[in-house]
Amino acid sequence: MRRLMDLLLFGGERRGTHRDPPPVWRRLFHIIAGSSIPLAGIFLSETTMVWALVVLAAGGLALDLARFNLPWLNRIFMGLLAPLLKSDEAAHITGATYMIVAALLVYVLFGKDVAIPAMFFLSLGDPVAALVGRRMPGPRILDKSLFGTAAFMGVGAGAMGVLVAAGGIDHHWGLWVGVTVAGAVELASIPPDDNLAVPLLAGTAMHFLGV
């Protein structure tokens, strides 16, 4: 039972308080692969997106569960994808899997008008927050810099502006609340993972504000 609860709440074994900084290749992958989801959502129907995300999410979860129970598979997985993974993901669901699951949930629960900006907030804002926050001095909250949070919100707002200007989404004041909520969630580091919490909570806020 404890193993099951740790998997659901923490993504695997309980995480320690210290985490290694993510590799630069992981941040680039986060931007490129993460942004491909909302970009595809602009051009594809919601039905197509949902089914594609169902397949990807099921595959990602199945692989994670398999490697948790097969040490040889886990060693191969961690070795091949070392530049894209954090060391603690040897015993945890990967950030990429959480991102795909989050995308599926926000598409199903809130539709593409909410899912597209919510996923862009995550894919662009999170790596920028990490890059800026680790290099800036000053006070920290939960080991995160307020400058990083400001960068997250700035990049998210910029992405939103580009999307609105390009006709990818319609403007709504709730989008501004959404990017603010996304930044606050990133700062708070709500478990089990930012890649799940940021889109879900920002998406929930935008949905109830009528986006």
Structural domain spans, the chain: 22-208
pTM for the predicted model, two decimal places: 0.86
Which residue type is seen at 95?
G
Q: What percent of the chain has pLDDT over 90?
A: 65
Distance (Å, whole) CA 151 – CA 145: 10
DSSP track, 40-75 = HHHHS-HHHHHHHHHHHHHHHHHHHHHHHH-HHHHH
pLDDT of residue 201: 98
Q: CB of 208 within 8 A of CB of 200?
A: no
pLDDT of residue 11: 52
Selection from 57, 52, 50 nearest residue 101 by Cα: 57
pLDDT of residue 99: 96
For 38-84, the pLDDT digits (tens) are 999 999 999 999 999 999 999 999 999 999 999 999 999 999 998 88
Which residues in the chain come in under a pLDDT of 70? Answer: 1-23, 138
pLDDT of residue 14: 46
pLDDT of residue 194: 92
**What does the block give as tokens for 139?**
């006070």
**What does the block give as tokens for 46?**
């919601």
C-alpha distances out from residue 121 to 40, 86, 89, 101, 148, Å: 15, 21, 23, 16, 13
